[in-house]
C-alpha cells in the first residue's frame, strides 16, 4: 500500500483530538535522527541541503511543483486537503506529485482504490480545469504516484508504486495535440530502467535526458540506503515513438530528521530550473507529522 494511506489515516485521526498529546510528546521526547545508512551504491553526493520549510500534512504532504507561467505564480502543493470534493465523492481519494510544463500547464495525478483507470487533472495557464482518463494496460499497477513533463512539453512520464523496472510515457494531456478529454489517454512508450527502483514518489526533469527522483524505499537493499534520491539518465529524450533506456544512480539519502522516532515518508520532488533548486517533501514519523514534516531545499554542491 502506498504511504499516502498512512499519511491520510494519521492526519484524520490526529486532527480530531490529539494535538494536546502531540505537544506533550514533543516536550518529553528527545530529538531523534535516522539510523545510519550504508553508502550509496553508485555515485557521489551532488545535491547539498540548502534549507527547509515546514510541510503542512493536509495540503503539502504528497507533492509539489514550480509554475513558471503566468509570471509570479506561486509554487503548488498537493495533499489530502487539496483533493476537490467532486473528485473525492467519485472515489478519486489519492493525489500524487504534480508537475507543470514550461508554458504553464499544471497536471495532477489521481488514483482510486478500485477500478481500472487513472485520472490526470489539467489546468491551463488561463485557469481552466480539464480531466483526462487513462485505462490501465495489461499488468499496469493502479497506483498513480507522480507525473513529470518533458522540457518540450509534449511528453509526460508517470510512475507506479512498488518495485519497478520501468517508467510510463504518455502524450502530455492538454498540451500534446494527440490528446483529448473525451478519449482514452493511451501510453505511448516506456522508459526501460537498467535496474529496479522501489516506491518512487516523484520525478522531475533536470534536462531533456535527466530525471531526479525521490524514493520512499524502506528496505535499502537496491542501492545500499533507504529513502534515496535517484538520478535517471535517459538514452534519448522521450518522443513517444519508441522506448528509451534509463540508467539509474543513487545520489544520496534524503534528509531524515524529526523530534519523533519511527518511519519517515519520502514524498514528491520538484526541480525549479529558474533557481536550480531541488525541493523534496519528507513527512515525519508519528505525532511529528503535524509539527516537523519538511520540504527540503537542495542545490548542486
In which residue are the cell numbers 523534496 written? 280
CATH of the domain at 277: 2.115.10
Q: Do the domain assignments include residue 243?
A: yes
Strand pairing category for 244-253 and 189-198 = parallel
Q: Do the domain assignments include residue 36?
A: no
* Beta carbons within 10 angstroms of residue 130's beta carbon: 15
**Burial, 292: exposed, middle or buried (Cβ in 10 Å; 0-12, 13-18, 19+)?**
buried
In which residue are the cell numbers 503539502 written? 60
What is the rounded distance in angstroms from the CA atom of residue 232 to the CA atom of residue 250? 9
Q: Do the domain assignments include residue 271?
A: yes
Count of domains forming the chain? 1
Per-residue pLDDT of the chain (301 residues; tens, 9 = 90+): 454 455 555 555 444 433 333 433 333 343 444 433 334 434 444 899 999 999 999 999 999 999 999 999 999 999 999 999 999 999 999 999 999 999 999 999 999 999 899 999 999 999 999 999 999 999 999 999 999 999 999 999 999 999 999 999 999 999 999 999 999 999 999 999 999 999 999 999 999 999 999 999 999 999 999 999 999 999 999 999 999 999 999 999 999 999 999 999 999 999 999 999 999 999 999 999 999 999 999 999 7
Q: Do the domain assignments include residue 88?
A: yes
Cell numbers standing for residue 192: 526501460
Q: What are phi and psi of 31, to 5 degrees?
A: -60, 140
Q: Do the domain assignments include residue 111?
A: yes
pTM above 0.85, yes or no: yes
Structural domain range at position 149: 4-31+41-300
Q: Do the domain assignments include residue 283?
A: yes
224: left (phi over 0), alpha (psi -120 to 50) or beta: left
62: left (phi over 0), alpha (psi -120 to 50) or beta: alpha
The residues facing 76 across adjacent strands are: 65
Amino acid at each position: 500500500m502506498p504511504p499516502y494511506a498512512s499519511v491520510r489515516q494519521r492526519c484524520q485521526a490526529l486532527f480530531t483530538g490529539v494535538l494536546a498529546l502531540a505537544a506533550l510528546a514533543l516536550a518529553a521526547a528527545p530529538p531523534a535522527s535516522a539510523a545510519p545508512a550504508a553508502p550509496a551504491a553508485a555515485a557521489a553526493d551532488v545535491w547539498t541541503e540548502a534549507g527547509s520549510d515546514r510541510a503542512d500534512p493536509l495540503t503539502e504532504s504528497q507533492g509539489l511543483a514550480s509554475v513558471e507561467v503566468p509570471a509570479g505564480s506561486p509554487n503548488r502543493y498537493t495533499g489530502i486537503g487539496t483533493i476537490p470534493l467532486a473528485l473525492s465523492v467519485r472515489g478519486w481519494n489519492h493525489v500524487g506529485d504534480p508537475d507543470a510544463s514550461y508554458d504553464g500547464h499544471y497536471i495532477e495525478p489521481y488514483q482510486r482504490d478500485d477500478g481500472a483507470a487513472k485520472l490526470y487533472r489539467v489546468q491551463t495557464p488561463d485557469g481552466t480545469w480539464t480531466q483526462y482518463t487513462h485505462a490501465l494496460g495489461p499488468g499496469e499497477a493502479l497506483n498513480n504516484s507522480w507525473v513529470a513533463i518533458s522540457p518540450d512539453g509534449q511528453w509526460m512520464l508517470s510512475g507506479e508504486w512498488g518495485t519497478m523496472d520501468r517508467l510510463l510515457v504518455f502524450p502530455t494531456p492538454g498540451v500534446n495535440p494527440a490528446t483529448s478529454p473525451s478519449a482514452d489517454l493511451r501510453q505511448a512508450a516506456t522508459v526501460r530502467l537498467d535496474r529496479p527502483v522501489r516506491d518512487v514518489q516523484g520525478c522531475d526533469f533536470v534536462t531533456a535526458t535527466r530525471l531526479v527522483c525521490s524514493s520512499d524505499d524502506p528496505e535499502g537493499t537496491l542501492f545500499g540506503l533507504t529513502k534515496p534520491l535517484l538520478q535517471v539518465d535517459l538514452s534519448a529524450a522521450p518522443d513517444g515513438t519508441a522506448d528509451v533506456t534509463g540508467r539509474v544512480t543513487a545520489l544520496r539519502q534524503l534528509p531524515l530528521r524529526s523530534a519523533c522516532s519511527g518511519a519517515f515518508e519520502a514524498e514528491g520532488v520538484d526541480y525549479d530550473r529558474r533557481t536550480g533548486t531541488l525541493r523534496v517533501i519528507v513527512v515525519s514519523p508519528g505525532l511529528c507529522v503535524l509539527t516537523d514534516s519538511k520540504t527540503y531545499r537542495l542545490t548542486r554542491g
